[in-house]
Amino acid sequence: MATESVNFQIDDKKIINGWAMFDWANSAFALVITTAIFPGYLEGVLDDEFSFLGMPMKDSAILGFSISFAYLIIAVSLPLLTGIADYGGKKMPFMKFFTRLGGFACLGLFFFVSQETMWIGLLGFILGVIGFAGAQVFYNSYLPDIVSEKNYDHVSAKGFAYGYIGSVILLVFNLIMITFPDAFGLGAIVAKDSIWGESPGALAARISFIMVGLWWIGFSQITFNRLPIMPGQKLSGDILTKGYQEIRKVWFELKTQVQAKRFLIAFFCYSAGAQTAIYLASIFAIKELKFETSELIIVVLILQIVAIGGAYLAAQLSSKFGNKRVLIGILIIWAAICVSGYFVQGKIYFYTLAAFVGLVMGGVQSLSRSTYSKLIPENTKETASYFSFYDVLEKIAITLGTLTFSLLDQQSGMRASILGLAVFFILGIFILNTVKSKRLAPN
């Protein structure tokens, strides 16, 4: 049983630690499956080219199309979920639903073993992405309920730290299992019965999908047992449409807020590039540079470690030079990474690019949110509505970016896709340069 709302105290350490454990639980999906292991496994199982729904398809493009489809569903449903979270008092049931959806989708990926079972892999991956993003909405919405405003930053950072540590622990274990499958007896299992797959490494990858599902569902129970049940209204038509009404309200308010509107247009452009690069860099490394799964996991670890430093570095630079200048500098680096990616050939050069991606990945995400916070009109009471609009815009940007990447890949190859992402950053730079606000100046 979760703690009843009448029995908990704000800033209760046990509740806060329980909340942060959800980041520990679900970050494993984002890191282990979405970025590190599933792209390589997908490429190894599927034919390079095949027919999908009557259309010719590349194995590298199908991953991008799957992400586009998942985030389109998320973007459309996010206002509904936000309305439920903010007004319906149904945070816990829906958080559990999306967690189970994502966790069981990961378990289902174990049965994706061949071209013939591709539908299992794609469906499991799409449902996993939806479960991850859906649960995150309700998880984030708990923060102001259980923590006083003065502790928002500290507790939010704790969740981030828990997520980083937990996902890296599981990723390192999976790296060892995939690299040395015989040490876990997987070679003998495959040799004894072919139903387990063609290679011990492939079986190890599929076992890692199960581990993510169990990790996600298992550790989230700590969160569910400690978080309070929040009071709310019964679900009704008004509550179900409340989120959409709030989005529409912010849309009309932004018409008179020129600087915030310009920033959001810039944010939309460069988010399409940045988020797509983060999601699909793995498949680029596999297809173009022939990275093995174990090598790819090392790349991901570099990204994660450098990203933390990048976020703190961006914060320090912004206090000295201002948000706008630092963001423009970050976007210039992003554009240079995309152009360099078009020409990169050796693995050692890709490792270097990965370090730069990590540096700007953490910075662009953390600084974008804080910049937007400064551009929201002062004394605005309904900041949640503004950030709901921000989140929807980001999800639509991911849909556009991954769709563009996959279409270019289908027509001209992955290097053209990488080069095409530079256009999003260049547009973002020009539009961001038109934003004028004293609140973005150095502290």
Instruction: Give the pLDDT confidence of 93-129 residue by residue, as tens digits.
Output: 888 999 999 999 999 999 998 889 999 999 999 999 9
Burial of 308 (0-12, 13-18, 19+ CB in 10 A): middle
For the segment 340-351, the average pLDDT, to the nearest whole number, is 90
pLDDT exceeds 60 at position 189: yes
Domains of the chain: 1-246 (1.20.1250.20), 256-443 (1.20.1250.20)
If you average pLDDT over residues 60-74, what whole number do you get?
90
- Sole residue written with tokens 């095409």: 420
Mean pLDDT across 411-421 = 91
Beta bridge partners of 229: 4
pLDDT at residue number 297: 82
Query: Distance (Å, rounded) from C-alpha 308 to C-alpha 298?
Result: 16
Q: Identify the DSSP state of 235.
A: P
3 has which bridge partners?
228
Entry pTM? 0.83
Q: Give the pLDDT of residue 99.
A: 96
Q: What is the pLDDT of residue 439?
A: 64
Per-residue pLDDT at 152? 67
What mean pLDDT is predicted for residues 419-442? 88
Q: Which range, of 57-61, 258-262, 276-280, 361-365, averages the lowest pLDDT?
A: 361-365
Question: Is pLDDT of 3 > 50?
Answer: no
Task: Compute the residue count for the chain.
Answer: 443
* Residue 237 to residue 253: CA distance in whole angstroms: 24
Q: State residue 230's pLDDT score.
A: 67
pLDDT tens profile 142-165: 877 788 867 765 677 688 778 888
